[in-house]
Amino acid sequence: MNKQSSIESLQQEGQSFQPPQEGRGQAYIKSMEEYERAYARAAEDPEGFWADRAKELITWDAPWDKVLQYDYNKPEINWFKGGKLNVAANCLDRHLTDGRRNKAAIIWQGEPEDEVKVYTYQMLHTEVCRFANVLKSMGVKKGDRVAVYMPMIPELAVALLACARIGATHSVVFAGFSAHSLQNRIQDCQAKVLVTADAVIRAGRTIPLKPNADEALKGCPSVEQVAVVRRAGNDVTMVEGRDHWWHELMAGESISDKCAYEVMDSEDPLFILYTSGSTGKPKGVVHTQGGYLTYAAHSTQWVFDVKDDDVYWCTADIGWITGHSYILYGPLALGATSFMFEGVPSYPGPDRFWKLVQKFKVNIFYTAPTVIRALMREGEEWPAKYDLSSLRVLGSVGEPINPEAWLWYHKHIGGGRLPVLDTWWQTETGGIMISALPYATPLKPGSATRGLPGVHAAIVDSEGKDVGPNQGGHLVIKKPWPGMLRGVFGDPERFKKNYFERFKGMYESGDGARTDDDGYFWIMGRLDDVLNVSGHRLGTAEIESALVSHPAVAEAAVVGMPHAVKGETIYAYVSLRTGIDPSDELRKELKGHVRKEIGPIAAPEFIQFADGLPKTRSGKIMRRVLRKIAAGSTSMEDFGDTSTLADPTVISDLIEGKLALV
Ligand code: WT7
């Protein structure tokens, strides 16, 4: 049997992998029965269930008035309202007295192999208090926004926890985004301070970061002060009175390492994180304190089964929600050891991850399907060189993991015995929603399995009615959960419209999915104009508006094209202005233009110049047709109903153009 057909038959037979016996006795959730019990309890008494978890996992300075109060029509959601806490105190202070003071909170591996730093809880506490005092000295107060644009270095974690300590709202912008993207995000949230670094070290190269920050700040009068970490030692220009070196700020004699934490309400904002939607402008997803932290800690504990002496490694960047919840807040709230890596999986060789697993005896490993697919291509001899026997739980997130990648991960990293958890969630959900539990759930490669206890995931049709098994539909969440977003910063209308308007009384995820006969969820991908490239979320409208901002471009339509490693890659159809001729040079220039406007991750892989785009008579671009052409369809039958097209002949022109390009 060839590989493909063996995978198909495996899916057809519904073959599943039973959870491991070894380790079961010590697991948080030991069996499917235990999962079902927790699920049923959370369904019958959600408030009781979440109140118990919030008390077990979080230290409160004052009890809440009400567990949950919500109204999706407004929409308004409050968890543990009136409850007082501080997130940084939960992640640090309480571990100074619970026996973990000298335990590693963060083990940081720099890209150069010999650069390793370990921060115990005590050390991290000291650094965070100092930087909290630095922020205060810069005039940052409770409720102010602090923008963070940094590589994966320990100072990033320190900066976020320092914000949390003084009640400032952090907004991290992934360091791969351009100056322009940074500027938009800072302008939107009106940050008072920016924390950045001289450069990012990536795959052996020093990529200057500070010039991007400088460029962005030209349009950001709200930013009064900038703290700059010296990471790479490259030359940077410092603006007198505005820019300060992190190490100088932290060495200041007047800076104390004592800093009383701000007592926050459960519903005060903790952070804003921008993510792409179906319109051009990214939305600032707002998460708050008590519910978010409860959910991050709860899901880290149950899904990854993190134990006190584990080394837990989530390979994401803190610039994304995965890093917020599963490098920083979830693990540190639990008092776990979080491993943080500056580098990439492929440098200096495709064995870097496995080398680090062996070096630090990593127990729990959480990565993305695109990483697995890329490493799979390099061959199984790379992981085979290392002792991976410390590993206990494997996770995946960001996009659907195809059965082939799942099976490779299971066999070559998990030795054929470890559970591979496909975790479905979103920036908006704050934490994992649909996932197996490692010692309870039988696994089916390619399925995220079941909703966690307290997560009422369902599939509905376009009217919002439940659909039965094996039928595709909209993935919704029927009841509130503590980690859910509380707003879109500065845009209540968008908050309502995006998530709560279409289906009354439910949260709309924007994803399509189906369930099978066992009630397992199979995620099919976005239903809106949002792309998923290597697990990164990008709006087609954002990329289109970047293209159209170039003087040569009259019109652009962007779609996703299936890609073996990235899941999807960006394919752009571009109509040029009259008098401008298509050329390879222009193609290159346009790619560069998008890089500059949004960031390298948004640059189209393919640009097809087209005289006309398939539009309906009412002028709407028929993306469905463009997606099909990019995916390689050449026969008219593939395109479905095209009778509403103003000019159906554009299709054959576009197909020809596609064939000439790829
Ligand atoms: C979108 C959310 C949540 C962390 C990373 C991405 C897709 C995410 C899975 C999965 C299938 C997945 C969805 C979702 N997605 N995880 N396990 N299986 N699809 O966060 O940038 O907010 O993107 O990523 O389409 O809506 P994000």
Q: What is the pLDDT of residues 16-75, one digit of tens each?
A: 899 999 999 999 999 999 999 999 999 999 999 999 999 999 999 999 999 999 999 999
Distance of CA 545 from the midpoint of ligand 1 (Å)? 24
**How many CA atoms does the CB half-sphere of 231 hold within 13 Å?**
29
Q: Is 425 in the pocket of ligand 1 (CB under 6 A)?
A: yes
Confidence band for 4, pLDDT divided at 50, 70 and 90:
very low
> Locate tokens 């009781």: which residue?
48
Question: Lowest mean pLDDT: which of 148-152, 304-308, 610-614?
Answer: 610-614
Task: Say if residue 5's pLDDT is above 70.
Answer: no
Q: Whose CA is nearest to atom 17 of ligand 1?
A: 424
Find tokens 């309890």 and name the residue.
41
C-alpha 536 – ligand 1 centre gap (Å): 8
d(CA 489, CA 501): 18
Q: What does the mean pLDDT of the chain come to? A: 95
* 8-state DSSP, 472: -
Of all protein residues, whose CA lies closest to atom 20 belonging to ligand 1? 426
Please check whether residue 419 is in contact with residue 489, taking contact to mean a CB–CB distance below 8 angstroms.
Answer: no
Task: List C-alpha distances in Å: 571 to 126, 324, 524, 604, 632.
Answer: 48, 30, 20, 6, 12
In testing the pocket of ligand 1, which one of 485, 537, 566 has its CB within 8 Å of the most ligand atoms?
537
Confidence at residue 646, expressed as pLDDT on a 0 to 100 scale: 87
Section 416-438 average pLDDT: 98
Would you list which residues are annotated within the binding site for ATP?
Answer: 398-400, 422-427, 511, 526, 537
CA pair distance 229, 224, nearest whole angstrom: 17
Residue with tokens 């704050």: 430
| Residue of 343, 29, 379, 384 lying closest to 200 (CA atoms) | 343
Question: What ipTM was reported for this prediction?
Answer: 0.99
Grouping H, G, I as helix, E, B as strand and the rest as coil, residue 276 is coil
DSSP H or E segment with residue 10 = helix 3-12
Burial of 606 (0-12, 13-18, 19+ CB in 10 A): middle
What pLDDT is stored for residue 13 in this prediction?
44
* C-alpha atoms less than 13 angstroms from C-alpha of 393 in its C-beta half-sphere: 30
Q: Looking at ligand 1, which residue's alpha carbon is closest to its atom 7?
A: 399
d(CA 443, CA 520): 9
Stretch 407-434: mean pLDDT:
98
The pLDDT of residue 616 is 85
Tokens 């279409």 sit on residue: 502
CB-ligand 1 contact for 350 (6 Å cutoff):
no
pTM here? 0.94
Which atom of ligand 1 lies closest to the CA of 425? Answer: 3
What pairing do the DSSP bridges indicate for beta strands 521-526 and 507-515? Answer: antiparallel
Q: pLDDT digit string (tens) for 537-575?
A: 999 999 998 999 999 999 999 999 999 999 999 999 999
Q: Quick one: average pLDDT of 124-151?
A: 98
CA distances from 554 to 586, 609, 650 (A): 14, 11, 17
